Amino acid sequence: MKKMSLAAHTRFSSRFLAVMILHLSSSSAWAGEDDFFIKEIMKQQQPSMNRQLPDWLQTQPIHLNPALEKILKEGNKMAAPGGSSGKEAINGKKSLAKAVQGRWIFVSFGMPMQELKAAAEEAAQTKSMLVFRGVEQDQNTTMMTKKLLPIVKAMKPVPGTVIDPTLFTRFNVTAVPTMIETDSEGKTRRARGLPGFNWLSKQEPGDQGQRGPIYGIVEPDMIEEIQRRAATIDWDKQKSLAIANFWKNQEEFNLRPAKKNKERSVDMTIVSTQDIFHPDGRLVIKKGERINPLAMIPMRQAYIVFDATSQKQVAIAKQAGDEILKRGKPVIYLFSKIDKQRGWDHYNETGELVNGRLYKLNKSIVDRFKLEALPSVIEGEGDHVVVKEIVSGEVH
């Protein structure tokens, strides 16, 4: 029996739909076009071809995390109240033309540490945003975070910090520190150096010139760096490697070989942990009510689970599948292990041998049907499921 947790007072259009939702949530096997296990198997079967890009290939402004994520959260929320932290300037030329309001201090690790700390303190006190143009050559945001963390971690509040080369381009910032403030009317005040926003806000709109020491920017433009680094990547090779390495980290299930023909029944009953209502307000299923989905939705498919590294088990699975197919029942073949060295070649060969749909076994099936030995055949019989351990291909 399986207990079921659902959000309170969930409403469905009928008892039938309520049973289906309960059944899907319980990780129980049921048949029809929406077979839960087939969905789960297919989801796990597909390799991820969209390899996650390195952090330096991100095209959005990058907040320095994960190391700074927690302590910068408050600062980022407080930065540029009523205005922009630079996010409005990230989506291409169109957004660059859009007016933004806020306060920014443009900085670089080309500045002496005491100057960078002074800029961070000013940003913290005035709730403005520290802006970097990118990361240093051959580094990444993790390395950058480690350098910045000792400087800002003791500040209260912690200043908001972002990597956004588009702001450097928008305001034509070529030296640091540069302080820029824009108001709701789009008027801009700027100064090179660190005169402070208390002073800058009192000046007339425009460029106030140099008001302190300035330094060069050591970080390349992040967007240009993205283009440069991306151009050096052989994406076809990366895709091929992803396919070739797919099997290396796949989960295996070391279930013992079956010693004799054996079968047992599995109770598919689930228990509702809350009342479920029809849209018209009628109670459809009472809390604590026992429901057997197979009594309403028969299980059409048969599942044959086997170890693909065992020629004997593959042959038994093939023979058992052929017998079931003669009865007009669809068969789903699930392998617990595969030859990882041969990977896709072994997968394709096994699929041809059994002449059927071939999928990886997943933990939900192992747990739900309490699989212990292979090969095993899982079939629905009326309102219950029968699991058969077999040592020959004959399934009756």
Instruction: Look at residue 19 in the predicted model and tell me its pLDDT.
Output: 44
Q: How much of the chain, in percent, has pLDDT values that exceed 90? A: 36
Instruction: Look at residue 381 in the predicted model and tell me its pLDDT.
Output: 86
Strand arrangement of the beta sheet that strand 302-306 belongs to: 262-266, 384-389, 376-381, 302-306, 331-335, 357-360
Kindly report the length of the chain: 396
Residue-wise pLDDT tens digits, 356-386:
888 999 888 898 888 999 999 999 888 889 9
Looking at the DSSP bridge assignments, the partners of residue 89 are none
Instruction: Look at residue 22 in the predicted model and tell me its pLDDT.
Output: 44
Q: Do 385 and 299 touch, CB atoms closer than 8 A? A: yes
Predicted TM-score of the model (pTM)? 0.46
Mean pLDDT (the chain, rounded): 77
Residue-wise pLDDT tens digits, 267-305:
878 787 888 777 778 887 788 888 777 777 778 889 999
| Pair type for strands 62-63 and 160-163 | antiparallel
Q: Do 208 and 200 touch, CB atoms closer than 8 A? A: yes
Instruction: Look at residue 212 in the predicted model and tell me its pLDDT.
Output: 94
Alpha-carbon distance of 173 to 344, in angstroms, equals 52
| SS3 per-residue string spanning the chain | CEEECCCCCCECCCHHHHHHHHHHHCCCCCCCCCCHHHHHHHHHHCCCCCCCCCHHHCCCCEECCCCCHHHHHHHHHHCCCCCCCCHHHCCCHHHHCCCCCEEEEECCCCCCHHHHHHHHHHHHHHCCEEEECCCCCCCCHHHHHHHHHHHHCCCCCCCEEEECHHHHHHCCCCCECEEEEECCCCCEEEEECCCCHHHHCCCCCEEEEECCCCECCCCCCHHHHHHHHHHCCCHHHHHHHHHHCCCCCCCCCCCEECCCCEEEEECCCEEECCCEECCCCCEEECCCCEECHHHCCCCCCEEEEECCCCHHHHHHHHHHHHHHHHCCCCEEEEECCCCCCCHHHHHHHHHHHHCCEEEECCHHHHHHCCCCEECEEEEEECCEEEEEECCCCCCC
Q: How much of the chain, in percent, has pLDDT values that exceed 70? A: 73
**Average of pLDDT values for 324-340?**
92
Residue-wise pLDDT tens digits, 20-49:
444 434 333 333 333 444 454 455 444 443
Tell which phi-psi region holds residue 163, choosing left (phi > 0), alpha (psi between -120 and 50) or beta: beta
Q: Do 36 and 30 touch, CB atoms closer than 8 A? A: yes
Alpha-carbon distance of 257 to 239, in angstroms, equals 36
Q: Would the pLDDT of 13 be above 70?
A: no
Span of 16-20, 309-313, 350-354 with lowest mean pLDDT:
16-20
In the block, which residue shows the tokens 């002496």? 112
Alpha-carbon distance of 123 to 105, in angstroms, equals 7
**In whole angstroms, how far apart are CA 161 and each of 20, 141, 171, 173, 374?**
48, 12, 17, 17, 56
Number of neighbouring beta carbons within 10 Å of residue 219: 22
Instruction: Look at residue 3 in the predicted model and tell me its pLDDT.
Output: 47
Amino acid symbol at 214: I
Residue-wise pLDDT tens digits, 152-202:
888 888 888 888 898 999 999 999 999 999 988 889 999 999 999 999 999
**Average of pLDDT values for 107-113?**
95
What lies within 8 Å, CB to CB, of 114 at 6+ separation is none
Give how far the C-alpha of residue 36 lies from the chain's centroid of Cα atoms, to the nearest Å: 21
